[in-house]
Chain A
Amino acid sequence: MVVEFGHFALVLATVVALFQMLVPFWGAQIQEQRMMATAKPAAIFQFLLLTVSFLALTYAYVVSDFSVANVVANSHSTKPLIYRISGVWGNHEGSMLLWVLILAAFGAAVALFGNNLPLTLKANVLAVQSAVALAFCIFLLSTSNPFLRLDNPPMDGRGLNPILQDPALAFHPPFLYAGYVGFSIAFSFAVAALIEGRTDAAWARWVRPWTLAAWMFLTLGIAMGSWWAYYELGWGGWWFWDPVENASFMPWLSGTALLHSALVMEKRETLKVWTILLAILTFSLSLMGTFLVRSGVLTSVHAFAVDPERGVAILVILSIFVGGSLALFALRAGELRQGGLFSPISREGGLVFNNVILTTATATVLVGTLYPLVLEGLTGAKISVGAPYFNLTFVPLMVPLLLALPFGPFLPWKRADLAAVAQRLLVACLIGLVAMVATMAMSMRGPWLAPIMMAIGVYVMAGALQELAYRVKLGSVGPQELMRRLWNLPRSMYGTALAHFGVGLLVVGIVGTSAYRTEKVLVMKPNDKVEIAGYELTYKGVAPHRGPNYREQVGAIDVARKGKFLLTLHPAKRIYDAPPQPTSEAGIYASWQGDLYTVLGDAQKEDGGFAIRVYFNPLVRFIWIGAVLMFIAGGISLSDRRLRVGAPRRSNRKVGQLAPTPAE
């Protein structure tokens, strides 16, 4: 009954979406206020209906209703509650429902908080947003309905893939989707602006917080996925340049570019055309990511041909929205007026540089991801494009970007003096150099490039801090005045500094673990010892253990440093009950210097020993700490009064860059 209710709510949401697409749009065309005003209640109603629908499906999972085909295929009665819930989006149908739900949530948020938007713009934005929702609702109902019942329900379900039964992965998809789908707002605003043929600074002021929110979620979602891969896949890799990862990384890259170009548009009313194009491209990449992941074309071009129904449906949706919006862009972009003038060496110039590099990086990832598919489709020739390609193309692109990054916030708008800024950054450069020397002193081995990259990472971090120091004129004022100035700095400035600091930290982590990782692979018998990175490890043996829905063999490895016992690590090998599939659980000891990472391998037939792998991954935590800092930085920026979603526009008070923000 509940399931039917959810099904019905989904159908009703589709009808509402159709209404919301047509009526407000038409109202905006003929300037009929009442028609435009329907957008708000429609968006909220659509969101409520989809929430009901989603909750109904969740209910079916929680109570293990095995008369629902989707629950049978993806759940099992012995699964812990959290994984019964996460199983809702651990499959195609449920995750698409979540996708639409988040889309509607963003639409409803615009409807609720957008009271100060011009009525026409708001109507158009919500109509475009609803068009996307409509397409995906129809897609759900026609090809991927999660509410279908079975005539003869089985006794139990088939279970969720054990590799997905993990806390980080349980919440990875919702964050990732919130990121993907969040860019739909930027897209809807861009298309609405093209329909109206005009934009202004208010447009950018509106788009930026939404883009920032989406970017935050995407950052965290990607970081969670990477973190999960790190400890779950059993060898400490954290990024694989896998097409699925690339699918989420491309919108992140172009979304990052969009954040920066929207800044120029808001402050200087220039780069309008480019910002609008970038908004369209970013959401298009999100849609393409959905297509790549859902359609099966990644497994092989042939898998796509075997089950083409869904793939073709998403491809059609993709073509309509990407093609349609780009065509509209081609038609209307010329009508948008360009704004202020600036010299290449200026804040604007710096942000343009950021955009050129990030766009090139996006294009590189795109071509590397799609090239094998396209080539095979066209010529039948099979080639592979993997990590070595991206390391050779993507990584060098990041070097100039990172070098330029600390300059950005120091550059004034319109026109800047590069030498003066470089002088200000002298301290950061020196700190970077010190880091380079320290790295070389600590470890002679590793690639010659590593100390340089390490220096760049540290320089980015130092540069971010130095910007704050410069803003408060550190050193020239007393402690009380300093505190007052720190307090009065706009939060967005803290956000910028923290995010850039996070980037530097991320670089340090990546370089540390990629260049200086050590590994030992060996067969160990009880009480065998091995030493790695200053730790002495003693293998104690293996014991069987029974979990809620799996059996496992748990190893015990004592870790000591300088003869002092630290802790016992428990790497394990699991076999899940349903589906019967093995997974590996690494035993990890985390410290600031790096992670000691142990994996239990196979029992050796001959001598009763176990294959054991131990790794030391220096500084690896900094990768995720950096990403989390970026997330927090986004939150701090969002809390800035100027950006706060729905904050009433302040009347013409002269709020300069350094003017005190009202205490909250």
Chain B
Amino acid sequence: MRSDFLNRLASAFTAVTVALAVLVTAQPVLAVQPDEILKDEKLEKRAREISAELRCLVCQNQSIDDSDAPLARDLRLLVRERLQKGESNQQVMDFVVSRYGEFVLLKPPFALNTLLLWLTPAFVLIGGVLLARSVMLAARPATESSPGTVEKDLTEAEEARLKKILDDGTAN
């Protein structure tokens, strides 16, 4: 009973600690080991680029390039092995995905189930611009507007008049 309680305490280990579970599971990060590095600098550079896009499957939100988990090392070696066979970056990525699934990609592909992920920023931006536009056009001076007006948008002529009023206002 008591040990059960303690277990729960332990399992619910902490604020920052839970938060940092990522970092905690990570031992001192060592990532790429000296013996993994390819002699061919260009190939090694490509290997690093690919590694930064692949998730270490047993870690939380770490790329295999940053992780020292044994599985990450295996993947790094795999990537290098395929590169040495002369495959392109895309071919290597495809191979890793075919083996481990799309979960391995830190940047998910544009697909039906990631539609909202990729489009939300654009939607919000467009929505924000439209909203801002309508606010700027619809805003009426609190004291000067006649209560009867209901138009949402100003015509060009009105806009011009508006500017004139504003100019006069600033001139005073």
Contacts and interface: CB of A to CB of B under 8 A. Distances in A.
A71 B155 CA distance: 69
Contacts, number: 225
- A-side interface mostly: mixed
A602 interface: yes
Contacts of A355: 128, 132
Contacts of B13: 73, 91-92, 161
Contacts of B140: 338, 341
Nearest to A271: B135
A150 interface: yes
Interface string B18-38: 111111101111111111010
Interface string B136-155: 10111110000000000000
A386 B61 contact: yes
A70 B17 CA distance: 14
A337 to B, nearest CB: 6
Contacts of B128: 355-357, 359-360
B80 interface: no
Q: Chain B interface residue count: which class?
A: 35 or more
Contact of A338 (B23, B27, B129, B142): B142
B34 A95 contact: no
Q: Chain A interface residue count: which class?
A: 35 or more
B124 A360 contact: yes
Contacts of B22: 242, 244
- B-side interface mostly: helix
B116 A371 contact: yes
A583 B28 contact: yes
B139 A340 contact: yes
B58 interface: no
A584 interface: yes
A581 B23 CA distance: 12
A92 B33 contact: no
B157 interface: no
A602 B61 CA distance: 24
Contacts of A274: 135
Given A360-B125, A368-B117, A233 B14 contact: no
B30 A601 contact: yes
Contacts of B12: 92, 296, 307, 310
Interface in A250-292: 269-271, 274
Interface string A367-407: 11001000100010111111111001100010000000000
Contact of B117 (A72, A367, A583): A367
A589 interface: no
A446 to B, nearest CB: 12
Interface in B97-116: 101-108, 113-114, 116
Interface of B: 2, 5-6, 8-24, 26-35, 37, 52-53, 55, 60-63, 66, 101-108, 113-114, 116-118, 120-121, 124-125, 128-129, 132-133, 135-136, 138-142, 162-163, 166-167, 169-170
Given A161-B17, A360-B124, 6 more contacts: A339-B141, A386-B61, A388-B107, A415-B166, A415-B170, A521-B32
A-B residue pairs, 4 tightest by C-beta? A584-B28, A386-B106, A95-B15, A388-B107
